[in-house]
Amino acid sequence: MNTFQQLGLEDHLLQAIIDLGFETPSEVQQKAIPTLLLEENDLVALAQTGTGKTAAFGFPMLQKIDINSRTTQGLILSPTRELCLQITNELKLYGKYCKGLNVTAIYGGASITEQAKNLKRGAQIIVATPGRMKDMISRRLVDISKIDYAVLDEADEMLNMGFFEDIKAILSYTPQEKSTWLFSATMPKEVSIIAKKFMLSPIEITVGHKNTGSKNVSHEYYLVGSRDRYAALKRLADANPSIFSVIFCRTKRDTQKVAEKLIEDGYNAGALHGDLSQNQRDLVMKSFRNKQIQMLVATDVAARGIDVDDITHVINYQLPDEIETYTHRSGRTGRAGKSGVSMVIITKSEQRKIKAIEKIIQKSFVQKDVPDGIEICEVQLKALAHKIHDTEINHEIDPYLEEINLLLEDTSKEELIKKFFSVEFTRFFNYYKDTKNLNAPKGNDSSLEGKQDDQSARFFINIGKKDGYDWMSMKDFLRDALELKQYDVFKVDVKDSFSFFNTETVHMPKVLEFFTDFKQNGRYINVEITEKKERRGNRRFGKQKGERSRRKDEFRSESRRGRRKEKRNENTGRSPRRSPDFKSQGGGSSRPMRNRRK
């Protein structure tokens, strides 16, 4: 088998590879690295996500550029800001022994002056999203007129996202005589057009289907209301008593919060994220490897190095921002020939992401119901029986047995078993006996779910009457753009050069995500969340009440009324001490999405 050494990489890069723990080059690396090192050629490489493409172009580029020069020599275009940051970080790791290397990320949604400042220090390699890159070129904040290498990473995705014109414009500022390396998971017509237009008889590499996910992993999703995520997580854990899992959250904060709650609720859980010290992380990983931690709650970045076999479940507490990350997540289970399950907890507004993921992993998801209390009790009861059956007897108890035997003299074996289980089990049973069904209703009407939790977010958007909108056309624009239903955008207030609108909180991530890098007529459209405080006050007593209650009336239905009643009972009712469900319903932690952006 090939080693990195045989590919022709220099010692300092090989040392970085050792530090990273890469042992053998992946197929795309084996094919691309020697070629790119030896020749000045254009290249088209087709390989699925997760096959190690970053290193396939990263190492040759690092070896070929002149570190002693501060001229920008390499430009990598990638579709999203997350990928852009990910590639930048990877390259920094690959080039950790390249003294004087400066890799700079250029992407929308962050300070342009800050990024310009970083460039001024002399970036040999720029990793950029097309929108921001074009912007910086037109402001003369960046010079790519002397680059030797241009990489189009995830070309199909970039074209999907409508970056063709931007890419064309950006490449027109680069010199003719450079090498262009295009990486893509698929080869739609648009990608071959790019290849034809911008490349000169490129070498072609195709890597067979790989890492579309392990064959041994099955994929399930659970549809719940936005406030029931945590309760659903607990039930999934309770329904799988011998679970050994990684639970993925999107942010460090959520990761910490979910782990803390789990620990508080009596689970063997731990958190793994970038805010912990290296020491803390090592400790957590050690406990996880020893299985003292059964549920490891982690961010994607922190979980990257996890190489633990035997993981039975991956739980996507929230879906990743980048759906391709899903492959990495689910790949944590089903290793070493074992089978594994990747579970996704979603709300209705995220359902379309499942379709997108299915395309990537080329496998179907099974929609499953969050187990109800009875099912969980049954599972737990059986698990207890097995545990007792398999337990080795501890002879330390022998001296006390005489007294105990005497006490239980008249109890039959059958009765004894029943009593024993009752002791162990009543606590669990009390937990679950009156809890509600967590599954979101399976209709088509996504508007209902949003209304249910009676929470909305108000947004500011920097377009208004000057841009030709009135409230109706604004509402239409937002609804179409965000693929929302008729009543999902409301309280639209169009001013001269800006506007306000509301959506239910569940749609908030979608709104923010959509407008991260969105342009209209060449201009960036920004959306921000406005203060919530005043609205909360108004909600009950203020001037907005009329509109609100009108809306409510439109949506009030029998089923919904039933649901609200049920909820009320739960909140005031006989709440058992350690109930998972009640916890997540009350208190200040019920709006995990809020302020996510900052």
Burial, 114: exposed, middle or buried (Cβ in 10 Å; 0-12, 13-18, 19+)? exposed
- Looking at beta carbons only, is 129 or 585 nearer to ligand ADP? 129
CB 211 within 8 A of CB 327: yes
Partners of 388 in the β-ladder: none
Q: Which does residue 22 touch among Mg ion, ligand ADP, none (CB within 5 to 8 A, set by kind)?
A: ligand ADP
Q: How far is the CB of 28 from Mg ion (least distance, A)?
A: 10
Task: Tell me the residue type at 375.
Answer: E
Task: Tell me the residue type at 459.
Answer: F
Q: Which does residue 55 touch among ligand ADP, Mg ion, none (CB within 5 to 8 A, set by kind)?
A: ligand ADP
Task: Tell me the residue type at 174.
Answer: T
* Sites for Mg ion among residues 35-64 (CB under 5 A): 53
Burial annotation 530-563 (CB, 10 A radius, 16+ → b, else e)? eebeebeeeeeeeebeeebeeeeeeeeeeeeeeb
- What does the angle CA 390 – CA 393 – CA 396 come to, to the nearest 5 degrees? 155
Q: How far is the CB of 319 from ligand ADP (least distance, A)?
A: 17
Q: Which does residue 316 touch among Mg ion, ligand ADP, none (CB within 5 to 8 A, set by kind)?
A: none
- Looking at beta carbons only, is 53 or 250 nearer to Mg ion? 53
Name every residue whose Cβ is closer than 8 Å to that of residue 145 and which is 6 or more positions away in sequence.
Answer: 173, 174, 175
Q: For ligand ADP, what does the binding mask look like between residues 298 and 337, x meaning CB under 6 A?
A: ------x---------------------------------
Q: For ligand ADP, what does the binding mask look like between residues 14 and 53, x meaning CB under 6 A?
A: --------x--xx--x-----------------x-xxxxx
Give the residue from 71, 53, 78, 178 showing the smallest Cα distance to 132. Answer: 78
Which of helix, strand or coil describes residue 422? helix
Q: How far is the CB of 171 from Mg ion (least distance, A)?
A: 20
Q: Which does residue 26 touch among ligand ADP, Mg ion, none (CB within 5 to 8 A, set by kind)?
A: ligand ADP
Q: Which does residue 50 touch among Mg ion, ligand ADP, none (CB within 5 to 8 A, set by kind)?
A: ligand ADP
Please, what is the angle between helix 533-541 and helix 545-555, to 10°?
Answer: 70
Partners of 198 in the β-ladder: none
CB 504 within 8 A of CB 451: yes
Check residue 491 for interaction with Mg ion (CB under 5 A).
no
Exposure of 194 in the CB half-sphere (CA atoms within 13 A): 35
Q: Which does residue 505 touch among Mg ion, ligand ADP, none (CB within 5 to 8 A, set by kind)?
A: none
Q: How far is the CB of 52 from Mg ion (least distance, A)?
A: 8
CB 285 within 8 A of CB 294: no
Count the residues of the shown chain that bind ligand ADP, applying the rule CB under 6 A. Answer: 13
Check residue 54 for interaction with ligand ADP (CB under 6 A).
yes
- Looking at beta carbons only, is 183 or 431 nearer to Mg ion? 183
Q: How far is the CB of 324 from Mg ion (least distance, A)?
A: 8
- Looking at beta carbons only, is 141 or 161 nearer to ligand ADP? 161
Give the residue from 53, 69, 63 showing the smallest Cα distance to 13. Answer: 63
* Sites for ligand ADP among residues 480-539 (CB under 6 A): none
- Looking at beta carbons only, is 54 or 80 nearer to ligand ADP? 54
Partners of 529 in the β-ladder: 459
Q: How far is the CB of 37 from ligand ADP (least distance, A)?
A: 16
Q: For ligand ADP, what does the binding mask look like between residues 171 and 210, x meaning CB under 6 A?
A: ----------------------------------------
- Looking at beta carbons only, is 16 or 438 nearer to ligand ADP? 16
Q: How far is the CB of 326 from ligand ADP (least distance, A)?
A: 11
- Looking at beta carbons only, is 28 or 457 nearer to ligand ADP? 28
- Looking at beta carbons only, is 49 or 579 nearer to Mg ion? 49
Check residue 88 for interaction with ligand ADP (CB under 6 A).
no
Q: How far is the CB of 530 from ligand ADP (least distance, A)?
A: 36
Whole-number Å distance between alpha carbons of 289 and 180: 43
Q: How far is the CB of 54 from Mg ion (least distance, A)?
A: 5
Count the residues of the shown chain that bind Mg ion, applying the rule CB under 5 A. Answer: 1
> Rg for the chain (alpha carbons), in Å?
28
Q: How far is the CB of 493 from ligand ADP (least distance, A)?
A: 43
Whole-number Å distance between alpha carbons of 504 and 169: 38
Give the residue from 358, 324, 360, 59 showing the smallest Cα distance to 209. Answer: 360
Burial, 254: exposed, middle or buried (Cβ in 10 Å; 0-12, 13-18, 19+)? buried
Whole-number Å distance between alpha carbons of 586 and 261: 13
* DSSP letters for 555-579: H--HHHHHHHHHHHHHHHS---TT-
Q: How far is the CB of 78 from Mg ion (least distance, A)?
A: 7
Q: Which does residue 421 touch among Mg ion, ligand ADP, none (CB within 5 to 8 A, set by kind)?
A: none
Give the residue from 107, 147, 139 showing the smallest Cα distance to 123. Answer: 147
Write down the residue that tokens 């990910």 correspond to: 86
* Sites for ligand ADP among residues 281-300 (CB under 6 A): none
* Among 55, 144, 207, 512, contact with ligand ADP (rule: CB under 6 A): 55
Q: Which does residue 52 touch among ligand ADP, Mg ion, none (CB within 5 to 8 A, set by kind)?
A: ligand ADP
Q: How far is the CB of 14 from ligand ADP (least distance, A)?
A: 12
The runs of H, that is alpha helices, within 290-370 are 300-303, 325-330, 351-361
Tokens of 157: 């995705």
Whole-number Å distance between alpha carbons of 554 and 465: 29
Interacting residues toward Mg ion by CB under 5 A: 53
Residues in contact with ligand ADP by CB under 6 A are 22, 25-26, 29, 47, 49-55, 304
